[in-house]
Chains A and B, each alone.
Chain A
Amino acid sequence: MGESSEDIDQMFSTLLGEMDLLTQSLGVDTLPPPEPKPPRAEFNYSVGFKDLNESLNALEDQDLDALMADLVADISEAEQRTIQAQKESSQNQHHSASLQASNFSSAAPLGYGTNAAAIGISQYKEDLPPPPADPVLDLPLPPPPPDPLSQEEKEAQAKADKIKLALEKLKEAKVKKLVIKVHMNDNSTKSLMVDERQLARDVLDNLFEKTHCDCNVNWCLYEIYPELQIERFFEDHENVVEVLSDWTRDTENKVLFLEKEEKYAVFKNPQNFYLDNRGKKESKETSEKMNAKNKESLLEESFCGTSVIVPELEGALYLKEDGKKSWKRRYFLLRASGIYYVPKGKTKTSRDLACFIQFENVNIYYGTQHKMKYKAPTDYCFVLKHPQIQKESQYIKYLCCDDARTLNQWVTGIRIAKYGKTLYDNYQRAMAKAGLASRWTNVGTVSAAAPAQPAQSTGPKTGTSQPNGQMPQAAHSVSAVLQEAQTRAETWKDKKPALGNHHQPGTPRAPQAPKSSLPPPPPVRRSSDSSGSPATTPKAKGTAGGGFLSPPIDFLPPPPPPPPMDDPELPPPPPDFMEPPPDFVPPPPPSCAGTAGSELPPPPPPPPVLDPDSARPPPAVAKRPPMPPKRHENPAPPGGAGGGEQDFMSDLMKALQKKRGNVS
């Protein structure tokens, strides 16, 4: 669950930027433990989407939970963001507003109980929902003068107005979203929401964060058509929603998340594709010996010139005749402009070639077990078809190679011809991603990451109260790491108080926080967490009544140190608060006092202060309520230190990315 929430968070952040609507009242209620939802009136998700509901219904309970958690987390994050933005303009208002506003009436619980057959994708258009989170960004804010305490209501009002405005804007820009179910290689599935602007690369990044995999370049989204027995990987630049919208409603097609070496094999061993003289073993041997430098120059030569060089590829392939199960052997040649064949009695000179197919309107797929299904001569088949075609048709072209090597050469060659330099750009991005990931891991950034996360997670709202919530989490995460993080956080605080935390916490932490919380084995914890961390839960509930926002997120993240830490460690929470601080930053002292209730966040800078601040605690409490729910949903990482670390890593990365975005 935590993982999924992470993804969603990310999605949200992007979405927010673009004013998407988030919809949902997913059944926060649905969650087993009736958790109080973090209520933000404005953020409330009005579940409006019919389709969404359908799709949700189709999901399994777990999925639903995860999804919900994600959504909640997203919202909270969105809030945070908005808050930050507002802070910049004005400070406290937002928090208070949001808190008050939160009426989160969670929509009626969805009947998630119904586990329909798992549908790969459910589509819903954005019409649905209300655009809770996004608005925030857009509206940075007009908040009036900051009068923290007394004016909270006013602020709330202002915020509400803004939100309305945002909602309207959102309505204008409808963004289509899908909830997709991704099958992992361990047979489990993950549900995540994809909006129509996301590319396969973005979705992969989401999945990386959720799964803590090694992020290597071989990971890909993979679509499978069980009916046609064909499959292919998404190219990183492909728009996921676009591809999936070609699927029929009752489709059995699936999306997988797995490693495929073929994806970028051409960039790892270009000589196998560019220097392979058909059938000549000597060349094969020499090519395998190629050193890195030569590979690089070969790649540069092939992909960095004025035009991309398509590997020279030609040879006899079997072609399935239209509508029959017979296969005819023909001599095919690959050119940048398409696949050609040598007509009977002609030579293979350019002038005699007949065009077999051009790539503009077709995608390439691997055929699986076509030997059985279509009586193909071998099982090394590839298929070309228009992406919209979903059933057997004469417009699907089936080709069959003699061996796996040839198959890969053809498929790769066709991809190069079709996508050109984009493919190379994709690869470089993937490499950068993988490189970054590995570097982080190596560095042992864990400590740094950890602190950051907590800060964000706690968000402005959670404030002091968080510690409790965090404690449990801390237990989960590696204690050492946590401690480090805490110490760091403390140091940060010291520094920041003056600054106004935004910088550190804001950027990096904010994004991370959600993530960190997510990664951990949320589900497990749910049950345990909810029950386990009584202190938090109660508070949460109480707050729930109040209708708090989504502070929950905050709670989770803070991988608070072990219980003992709590007392002394209040500081750590501050990190969580980090974000809030930003708001306060400008008027640090005043805000603390004034806003205390709503604005707990500000205090973060001076951790010590927090404790003293009575005002804060209350707010924190209020906020807390929401958090508990999240915990339940996303049971924080139960303890897996390792898992926690990974999360941190990914979080860190996210944070960095976000930071960049924020800064800019």
Chain B
Amino acid sequence: MNYFPDEVLEHIFDFVTSQRDRNSVSQVCKPWYKIESSSRQKVFVGNCYAISPERVIERFPGLKSITLKGKPHFADFNLVPPDWGGFVYPWIEAFARNNMGLEELKLKRMIISDECLELISRSFANFKSLVLVSCEGFSTDGLAAIASNCSFLRELDLQENDVEDHRGHWLSCFPDTCTSLVSLNFACLKGDVNLAALERLVARSPNLRSLRLNHAVPLDILQKILMRTPHLVDLGVGSYVHDPDSETYNKLVTALQKCKSVRSLSGFLEAAPQCLSAFHLICPNLTSLNLSYAPGIHGTELRKLIRHCRKLQRLWILDCIGDEGLEVVASSCKDLQEIRVFPSDPFVGNAAVTEVGLVALSSGCPKLHSILYFCQQMTNAALITVAKNRPNFTRFRLCILDPTKPDAVTNQPLDEGFGAIVHSCKGLRRLSMSGRLTDRVFLYIGMYAEQLEMISIAFAGDTDEGMQYLLNGCKKLRKLEIRDCPFGNAALLMDVGKYETMRSLWMSSCNVTLGGCKSLAKKMPMLNVEIINETDQMDISADDRQKAEKMFLYRTLAGRRKDAPEFPLPSGIGFSSTSLPSSSCEDFQTVDGDMASNRASNEKLGTIVNGSVSVNSWFLADDKLYQTQHCATPLLQSKVPSYASPPEGEFS
């Protein structure tokens, strides 16, 4: 292969699209590394603190599309203080400064300010796509900047973000010359939108294929919009309350008859179920249906709707569908691949689905491989049946609303049930468990879950052995998150090298102590070990025996981050890192300014400086990972050790 000129290699590499494959390609030899790096356009960074933007820019000068993830997953459930971090500004600022031709930006669980949105809109002439998932820190003013300045914008996709809504003028900011929109999703915006501007925008966007409206778009406007978008593939209905006999409803039916391309339906944020029959026209072609924000749709109307959806592949629903409703799904939707059943009343804790619905799904839907299931109760027998029926599960997430509830029939722990799942589902990559669970379940997981990459555990286990089984057994583990389990230092420190093969570890309300965390950080220079203590008096010279309330550790090439909140504030975060001999304030990151009060300026403080080290390589030797400041001979005459994957594997 080395006899081919570079252009030929580059052309061949163009066919290699998956990031994991491209990472592998880059590891073959130095010339391949060079060519691959210079030609790569799309990068995924699973942890924005694992690497610095400067280093990414240096390695991939042709970068056009980047995905960044910020906060740990458990931030979704309010376990991470709001000022923890995840600021995207340093990345955007670095891209702008280096004149990168950025076209696509996708962020998840990050903080992005209006200033940052404006910077994006002004810095990248070909900017085409902005996708924000579970982000915060911005308002509709930032959206206005994007709308105004990005002349070739194709995609603006806002999923479940916390957006400060300054009303709907941002929609009017799309210039009349903007006709390139393909995808527009503003379902998460809480405020009003300028309906006339919306109509005009839709009218001049012939390529629009995906449109998700928020609750402020009423039925008559929806109907007018649909008349103009006969090629729509993905529709998110906003508000759907109306009188079924009205003229508007009839017009809607007419409009829907024209929309023969709709394959994906969502929304119904406020819905009167008796009016769903208009959508029965679309149902036979639907492959994706999301009614998880429509508590008003249940009972017979819901079941009627489902019966029409014979081609459904993906279904997100609330538990008010009940076991009965799930049986209808099982008998109607033979193509179903993914289902998520969310709780409609999370606080009262009376989920309407049980193990019965789960078993029905497993037996009725042969292609089902991904499930998220919030339920009232579970039994080992059911799980064993499910495992037998559906060995093809790749993602299995079960959440019993009472997190320590045992088998509802036998009162036994659910170890055997989950054990059956991991034993049978050989391709299982993601697992979440709940219910009464002992160390035994971890023994099973360690033994059988060979492909497992991500696991979430809560209120489970008895001793350190539980966690040890996991760490010992799951060779492909990348993300481990644990809360409220009796795992301590012995488990944490059992195999410290393991954490370099993983993206991150989260442990909260467990038994690990400050001392344990410090010890780990001392041993592992490539890890950032962050401790989050939210008690009012976190004394830095605190006893090492004090428990670490929350600990988040992750491998990184960027060293300690400089944008962490000041320590020790009430929501202080402390760092332990390699240079920490004993507790001392200087070793802990402090940040100028008042982090908690001013988010906008916080982002600017977050510039990660890795500038003095111009490293474009790393190398493996002696089964360990080394970051070098001078070594320019990367890779790999020797075999790649099986557990140590390159940090750029971080990108996957």
A and B: interacting chains: no
* Residues on A facing B (Cβ under 8 Å): none
